[in-house]
Chain A
Amino acid sequence: MAEPPDAPRRRLPSKGRGPGRRPSPRPAAPARPAFAPASAAPGGSSAAALAAAPVERGFGGGWLIVAGKELADHILSARFYVLVVVLSMAAAGAVYGAASGIQSAAGQIASQPEVLPAPFLALFTVSPQVGGQSLPSFYALIGLLGPLLGIAFGFDAVSSERSEKTLPRLLAQPIHRDDVVNGKFAAGLGAIGGILVAVVVLVAGLGLFQLGIVPTPEAVFRLAAWLVVSVIYVGLWLAFATLCSVVMRRAATAALVAIALWIVLILFGSLLAGIAANALSPLPSSPTTDEQIANSNLQEALARVSPATLYAEATGVLLDPTARSVDLLTSTQTQGAVAGVLPLDQSLLLVWPQITVLVAETSVCFAVAYISFMRQEVRA
Chain B
Amino acid sequence: MADAAIRTRGLTRRYGDLLAVDRLDLEVRPGEIFGLLGPNGAGKTTTILMLLGLSEPTAGRAEVLGMDPTRRPLEIKRRVGYLPDDVGFYDGLTGRQNLRYTARLNRLEPKAAERRIGELLELVGLAGAADRPVEGYSRGMRQRLGLADTLVKDPEVAILDEPTASIDPTGVREVLALVRSLARERGVTVLLSSHLLHQVQQICDRVAIFVDGRIVAQGPMAELAERLASETLTMEVGLEAEPEVAEAALAALPGVHGVRRDERDERLWLVTGDSELRTALAGRLAERGLGVWHLRRAGDELDEIYARYFERGSRRGRGAGDGRAA
Measured CB to CB, the residues of A under 8 A from B are 1-4, 7-11, 13, 17-20, 22, 24, 26, 28-38, 40-59, 62, 65-66, 68-69, 73, 76, 164-166, 168-176, 377-379
Contact = CB atoms under 8 A, between A and B. Distances in A.
Contacts of A1: 138-140, 166, 168
Interface string B54-75: 1100000000010000000011
B84 A165 contact: yes
Nearest to A64: B104
Contacts of A24: 154
Interface string B67-93: 000000011011111101011111110
B139 to A, nearest CB: 4
Given A7-B141, A8-B128, A47-B185, A30 B2 contact: yes
Given A169-B149, A171-B54, A378-B54, A164 B88 contact: yes
A4 B55 contact: no
A22 B177 CA distance: 20
A380 to B, nearest CB: 12
A33 B84 contact: no
Contacts of A29: 156
Q: Which of A1, A52, A377 neighbours the largest number of chain B CB atoms within 10 Å of its CB? A: A1
A58 B87 contact: no
Nearest to A62: B105
**Overall SS of chain A's interface:** loop
User: Closest 3 interchain pairs by CB?
Assistant: A165-B88, A32-B187, A10-B125
B276 interface: no
Interface residues of B, number: 80
A69 B92 CA distance: 12
Contacts, number: 217
Contact of A168 (B79, B84, B178, B185): B84
7 contacts: A35-B183, A47-B186, A56-B107, A73-B92, A169-B88, A174-B105, A378-B54
B83 to A, nearest CB: 8
A168 B149 CA distance: 13
Interface of B: 2-3, 5, 30-31, 45-46, 49, 52, 54-55, 65, 74-75, 77-82, 84, 86-92, 101-109, 112-113, 115-116, 119-120, 122-129, 138-141, 146, 149, 151-154, 156, 166, 168, 170-171, 173-174, 176-178, 180-188
A9 B119 contact: no
A2 B186 contact: no
B61 to A, nearest CB: 19
Given A47-B123, A165-B87, A378-B55, A42 B177 contact: yes
Contacts of B146: 169
B31 A35 contact: yes
Given A22-B186, A171-B54, A45 B105 contact: no
Given A55-B78, A65-B105, A166-B89, 10 more contacts: A3-B141, A8-B125, A30-B30, A42-B173, A42-B174, A45-B178, A50-B120, A53-B109, A55-B107, A172-B84
A53 B119 CA distance: 11
A52 B188 CA distance: 14
Given A30-B5, A30-B156, A379-B49, A170 B105 contact: yes
Contact of A169 (B5, B87, B92, B173): B87
Nearest to B103: A53
Q: Which of B112, B126, B181 neighbours the largest number of chain A CB atoms within 10 Å of its CB? A: B181
B115 to A, nearest CB: 5
Contact of B184 (A35, A62, A68): A35
B181 A44 contact: yes
B106 A45 contact: no
Nearest to A59: B74
B209 to A, nearest CB: 22
A68 to B, nearest CB: 8
Contact of B185 (A17, A42, A173): A17
Contact of A13 (B80, B103, B122): B122
Q: Which of A2, A7, A22, A62 neighbours the largest number of chain B CB atoms within 10 Å of its CB? A: A7
A11 B104 CA distance: 27
Contacts of A73: 90, 92
